[in-house]
Structure 1
Amino acid sequence: MAVSKLWSVSTNLERVIEYAANPEKTSAKVYSEEQYQALADVLSYAKDEEKTEQEFYIEGINCNPITARDQFVTTKELFGKTEGIQAYHAYLSFKEQNITPEMAQRIGMEFAKEVWGKKFQVVVTTHLNTKHLHCHFVINSVSFLDGKRLWGEEKAWFKFRLVADRICEKYGLYYNPNPNRSKQNSYYYKQEQAGMPTRYSMLRSAIDEAIAHSTNLKTFEYNLTQMGYKHCLSESRKYWTVIPKGYSKPVRLKNLGEEYSEEAIKRRLIENQRLPILPFSSGSKKQYNLPTRGDKIKKKSGIYCLYLYYCYKLGYLPKYKKPDTNKLHYLLREDLLKLDKISEEARLLGRENISTDKQLFSYKESVMGEISKLTDDRTHLRKMMRRKISDDELSKVKDEVSTISDKIRLLRKEVKTCESIAERSKVMEYNLSQDNPTEQKSKRKEKETYEQRW
């Protein structure tokens, strides 16, 4: 099986060609002085454009790999297209570990000829320095045939797998005719494995909650909309997508797992038709309305208390019972991904005893004044470094400059945190105001249920 990828190169055309044709990557391993001398002889022999040295696995299509850079530039100058993207760099990596370099180079040449060889100049190399052999391709961005730039099917790397699979099948190499291209990003996967909330895990929870209160697709769509999620679940679309609140890029539901494909969601909705469906609510039920730590915090006022109560609602502050994030209001649930930043802002408010907007902006101004003073001191020290002073004095001045730079860096971070607090506090007030009616309604129902029992 072969994996392909292509990306553009806008600057330094010579560097990418040198990388692709690096002898340390394309040459076979050498174990003796005789072999090393033969390798040196081959390097000079390879300059003859009429010859091809197989030991280096470097070949050109419609060009000589030794003078490829000059030929690429000549083509661009001929058609007056020397600006913009200079070339495209691609690779073809093989899963098999028992494939020979000769076969890898042969497959790479056949692949490049079919995809680009009719119109473009290509340098094809095979690198032997990694666990899996892989071919590198450097393609001129301008065609030598008609002067047109690389475009369309010629740069659609996600379609190259069809060509690669066909060639691998021809040479008896393994390939997967039905690859799973819905795998979750490794970054989000590692976050979930560590127990941290991610955009995907939050979206799964939201979909589960919407399905739990739905018996048909229309109700499911309505519940998603009520939770703040944009969606496109049309039957005419190939993939169903949902855009989480606060994001602009849609997520294909099939990428969330087997239980979130179009067929699985429809099946789960049909199964709900045989079960009693609870009314849609994001509140949590309790048996008694006992005073909580949140009630004590709410009696206070100020930005710091707002942050404390918000952290309490998110479950960051200790509670008697660990909160169920699925029962949080969807507006608060989005901020679970920002707990580290919110807690850092709360610590600053507590450390500096800030409770009003006026105190916050006053502290910000004082920090900016300190930054200005330290910047002037650092400028003075840098001027001293330009004078003729001893090495000991120069070393001390450099240490002082470094210390001041570290202080300035921390203070600038404080300024950004203050700006973030000013912006986030308004959002927190709005989110809590939206959650408050639901919370009051939940408490009222709990009270009625408790009274009916007696």
Structure 2
Amino acid sequence: MAITKLLHIKERSSGNPSAGLEAAIAYISNPMKTQNGRLTGSLNCTFQNAYKKMIATKKIYGKEDGRQGYHYIISFNPGEVTPDKALQITDEFCRRYLGTDYETVFSVHDDKEHIHSHIIFNSVSVADGHKYRYEKGDWKKEIQPLVNNICSKYGLEEIDVNETGINGIDYGEWEGNKKGTAPTNRDELRNLIDQLIPKVQSLDSLVEKLKESGCEIRVGKYVSIKLPSAERSIRTYRLGFAYEKENLIKRIAGETLSLPYINSPVQHQNEYKIVRAGFREAGKKTVYKSEYWKYKDSINKVQAINKQNQYLIEHGIRSEQQLQSRLSMIESQMDEIDVARKKLFVQRRMYQDLIEIIKSNPEEQAKEMIAEMGMDADSVFHFEKESRDLLEAYKTQKRILNKELALVKSIQAGYKKQIRR
């Protein structure tokens, strides 16, 4: 059974507009994933000149802007096909679907348990200059049925295109990268590290394997790696939690990583709730004098004054000093929330790669992907949910505090005006 995923490669907003296309071609031709280039093929070009030919075609027809190319992925079930059979299926699909119209390169990656193939083709036809156009529903009507037909020819199970809920998405609209670009240097570096970890026994041996792959390495407080095709190094902690130096060591040792436990907002409510008790002085019954005399002809202003008086009574505030203390307390609570929110935002950024996996995939698939990275999936899901809920609780609490702060300041301003008179 083979299923097709459809991606498009957008024009880069800065620098070389077709850099994403070039990076995508380089990614799918990775020798470490394609048996040193054996599991590759092309139509109307070669892998060596594919990018230059695609750019030349765009220039000939004056269509260098917009989408630069398309990236299709055909995924097979684990153990379903050999790499060579997957290459045959992919080759036949490209010839029947794209033919002589587009410069096309394709490859089979066999570095994972489930074999999958990548297809990249130009957005502009080399035959007549027309831009490729995907219409909604093409996956169901044309693309997947063709893959089914070829799979049937090779004795593989077909997918029911009318079946709903396949991976929870419409493959015609699916984008593996939310920015619509090809895999980045960080993606490739993650893949390379993930591939090497099961083959090494220590951080030193991982470093040696990376060097054998053509990478430049610096190891100190952090691990910095420069891919052969990259212009600059990347510190591994920027790849995500699972790639921090100490966690790489744990993964090599076969340990399962767990994210820090986040208490729920309910457990934090005593820390950040508004202090409602107020300051009470026994035996006193007077409160601030309102400015009713000034606003007696305005119903809205009378209501505002009543609200001020009610607040003062509820909180037992009977002096300017108590009001100022209340104001300081509210501002302090707001500062604490800001600090806590910032800390949580920083934590979520550190684990952004894991959070994106959760957001972009059905739960079971996300858990499998996280487990493959050597992480405890349950702790990752707990962290994502609880940190998200806590951020929402902080946001609500800040909104309540802002309203109270505005009310206290209005009372304080009115009191000062009354004193000046």
- The normalised TM-score by structure 2 is 0.41
| Greater percentage in helix | 1
TM-score normalised to structure 1 length: 0.39
Query: Looking at both structures, which has the greater relative contact order when contacts are Cα pairs under 8 Å and sequence separation is at least 6?
Result: 2
Q: Compare CA radii of gyration and give the structure with the larger one.
A: 1
